[in-house]
Amino acid sequence: MNDNPENKIEQDENPVEESLSPEMALDPEATLTLSEAERRQLELLDANNRALRAQADLENYRKRVQRERQQDSRYALMPFLRDLLPVVDNIQRAIKAAEENQEAASLLEGFKLVEQQLQSSLLQHGCEPILAVGKAFDPNLHEAVSQTPSNEYDAGKVVMETAVGYQLHDRVVRPSQVIVSTGSKE
């Protein structure tokens, strides 16, 4: 053994080389292989994460499309109902006119039957009239055509309905056209 302090320094200067196998010490690419393996592992994790996200996105897309299909089928009648409601209005006007004319009693009965049939068909398909008279004015359900003072109804309440509104399930097909109270005449 050599106790020379200079020799000891020389031995301690390269402790890393001593811990490496002789092959690794000679091959500088061996240390790169370790980082290459780590890089490949990170790429694999990233690819797995992207695959999971893509799968989740696909599942969300499927659910959204299914929801939209349900909504479309639930409200598919909306355009037809918008076209049909003026016919219902005209039948109701004809009934009112026939009620004023005593000579049209049989015509009146026929129109009443047709109106009942139409109303039951509308109800059967989820289209219901919007109740308005006596209710608070709601711009989502009602369309104000005028205002009038009223002793019977408080301000903001619907006094009269000029055209019946309808809604399909929870969507308004046509708002009720209403006259709204401004409060008492005094």
Question: Which CATH architecture fits 78-181?
Answer: Roll (2.30)
Percent of the chain with pLDDT over 70: 81
For residues 107-128, give the mean pLDDT: 88
Domain-by-domain residue ranges, the chain?
Answer: 22-74, 78-181
Q: How confident is the model at residue 17 (pLDDT cuts 50, 70, 90)?
A: very low
**Torsions phi, psi for 141 (to 5 deg):** -115, -25
Q: How far is CA 168 from CA 6, 127, 142, 151, in A?
A: 97, 4, 15, 34
Those residues with Cβ within 8 angstroms of residue 25's Cβ, 6 or more apart along the chain or in another chain: 17
Q: Which two tokens stand for residue 162?
A: 């000029």
Q: Which two tokens stand for residue 150?
A: 């009223």
Q: In terms of pLDDT, which residue wins out, 5 or 104?
A: 104
Amino acid type, 37: A
Over residues 20-51, the pLDDT tens digits come to 444 444 555 545 556 888 888 889 999 999 99
Q: Give the whole-angstrom CA distance, residue 35 versus residue 21.
A: 18
Question: Are 114 and 87 within 8 A, CB to CB?
Answer: no
For residue 173, CA distances in Å to 107, 163, 168 come to: 30, 13, 6
pLDDT, one tens digit per residue, over 56-73 is 999 999 999 999 999 888
Does residue 156 carry a pLDDT above 60?
yes
Cβ partners under 8 Å of residue 49, min gap 6: none
| C-alpha distance from residue 78 to each of 81, 85, 122 (Å) | 5, 11, 11
pLDDT value of residue 3:
52
pTM of the model: 0.61
Mean of per-residue pLDDT scores for the chain: 82
